[in-house]
Amino acid sequence: MLDRACLGTVVAAGICLTSASHTASAQDFWAGKNLNLIVGSDPGTGYDVYGRAVGRHIAKHIPGRPTIVPQNLTGAGSKRAAEHIALVAPKDGTVIAIVFPGAIAEPLVVERAKWRYDPTKLEYLGTADSGTRMCSTRLGAKVTTFEQAKQEIATIGASAPGGSTFDYPTMLNALTGTKFKVVSGYKATVDIAIAVDRGEVDGWCGVEISTYMSIRPEWLEKKQANNIVQLGLEPSPEMTALGIPSVWKFVPEANRNVMELIVSQQVFQRPFIMPPGTPPERIKQLQAAFMATMKDPEFLAEAAKMKLTVGPRSGPDVAALVQKMYASPPDVIAQMTKAVRPE
C-alpha cells in the first residue's frame, strides 16, 4: 500500500504529466498553422489598427506560435464579421475576430429573430480597451457646447445603425433632448473626420478617445475642436481635467437606466471573439494568450507609440457582462430600442 507521502508524489507527478501533455498537444495543434484574425472594419480604422497590433504580438504567447493572418471583413457595422465567426468559421481555434461592440449589443434593440447569431453564445478572448467616448464639433460650427446642442441643430457624421457614431447621437437626442441631425453613410471614422474638416458636417459623436488620439490627436491635445461631452459609465479623469463635461450631468433620472445599458457596451470597447463550440481548452489558451499580450512590454510600447489606449478585460469578464445585458428587464430594453431606433 502506498503511504501518504508516496501517494502525494504520484498525484503531483500525474498533474505535471497532464499539464505537460496539454501543452504538448496545444503546440502540436497550432505549430505550423495559420490563425486567421478577422477585422470587422475597414483598413486604417481604429479597430483595424488595434486588431493588427494585437496580431503582431499574440502568437508568441500561443503554444506552437501559429502565423497570424489578418483579414478585413467589412459590412453592417461588423455584423458580417460576427456572423462569419458564429456560422462559417472553423470551431477549432484557428479563427478569431475583432468587432464593433455594437455587433454584440445591437441584437438587444432589433427583433431577435432577424439575427443569425446570438451574442450570448459567442466565445470571448477579452477586450483590448474599456473606456470613454466623446462628441465634438469643429471650431467653426455654430454649436460649441452640449447645452447649445439641446437648443440648436448640429449635423453629425455617422456610419450606419449599430455603429456608435450613429447610435450615440441618436440616443442623446432621445434621452437628453439634443437636436443632432445624424447624416449616415460614411464608411469609417476617418471619413467622418475628413467630412468635419471640409465642413460637410458639424462634428462626430460616439467616438473612442483612442480614435481621437490615432487620427485627430490635435482635437484633444491642441483643442482644435469643441469637445462637448464625454460618455462613459464613469467620467474620465483625463477628459474631466480638459474641461469636458460628463453626459450624466445632462441625463434625466428617469432615463438613467436606459443610458447605462447602452453605455455599458464601452466596457468591451475593442472586443475579440471566437466561434461558439470552440474546444474549451483552446478557448482558455487563447484567452490566456490575449491577456498575456495585454501585458507584453513590446505590445505596450507599440501601443504607446501609436497612441492606442489599453484598458483590457478578460474574456470571462466580457462574457459575464454580455449575459447581464441580455438579462436586462424587458421594459428597459424596450426603452433602449426606442432611443437608438426611434423610427
Contacts 24+ apart (CB under 8 A), 283-287: 283/93, 283/123, 283/315, 285/26, 285/62, 285/63, 285/93, 286/62, 286/93, 286/96, 286/125, 287/124, 287/125, 287/126, 287/314, 287/315, 287/316
- Is 5's pLDDT higher than 60? no
Domain boundaries, the chain: 29-130+269-340, 133-265
Greatest alpha-carbon span in the chain = 87
- Report the C-alpha gap between 261 and 257 in whole angstroms: 6
The pLDDT of 111-115, averaged and rounded, is 70
Torsion of CA 240, 267, 335, 328, to 10 degrees: -140
- Is 145's pLDDT higher than 90? yes
- Residue 23, pLDDT score: 53
Asked if the domains at 29-130+269-340 and 133-265 fall in one CATH topology, the answer is yes
**Residues near 284 by beta carbon (within 8 Å), at least 6 away in sequence:** none
Please count the residues of the chain.
343
- Report the C-alpha gap between 265 and 340 in whole angstroms: 14
Per-residue pLDDT of 14-28, as tens digits, reads 444 444 445 557 778
The pLDDT of 143-155, averaged and rounded, is 98
- Report the C-alpha gap between 39 and 96 in whole angstroms: 9
- Is 115's pLDDT higher than 90? no
**Residues near 56 by beta carbon (within 8 Å), at least 6 away in sequence:** 68, 299, 302
Per the prediction, the chain carries an average pLDDT of 90
Q: Which residue has the higher pLDDT, 7 or 140?
A: 140
Q: Which residues pair with 208 in a beta bridge?
A: 133
User: How many C-beta atoms lie closer than 10 Å to residue 270's C-beta?
Assistant: 28
Per-residue pLDDT of 165-215, as tens digits, reads 999 999 999 999 999 999 999 988 999 999 999 999 999 999 999 889 888
Question: Rounded to the nearest 5 degrees, what angle is found at the Cα of 192, between the Cα atoms of 187 and 194?
Answer: 115
Per cent of the chain over pLDDT 90 is 75
Instruction: Say if domain 29-130+269-340 classifies as CATH 3.40.190.150.
Output: yes
- Residue 32, pLDDT score: 94
- Residue 25, pLDDT score: 73
Q: What is the pTM of this model?
A: 0.80
- Residue 10, pLDDT score: 47
Query: Where residue 113 falls among pLDDT bands split at 50, 70, 90?
Result: low
What is the C-alpha R_g of the chain?
A: 22
Residues 93, 281 contacting (CB under 8 angstroms) = no
Name the CATH superfamily housing domain 133-265. Answer: Periplasmic binding protein-like II (3.40.190.10)
Residue written as grid cell 500500500: 1
Cell numbers linked to 180: 443632432
Write the DSSP assignment of 142-164 as a string of letters: S--SHHHHTTS-EEEE---TTSH
- Report the C-alpha gap between 291 and 61 in whole angstroms: 9
**Residues near 314 by beta carbon (within 8 Å), at least 6 away in sequence:** 126, 287, 291
Least confident of 39-43, 98-102, 106-110: 106-110
Residues 72, 45 contacting (CB under 8 angstroms) = no
- Report the C-alpha gap between 53 and 65 in whole angstroms: 16
Q: Which residue has the higher pLDDT, 53 or 25?
A: 53
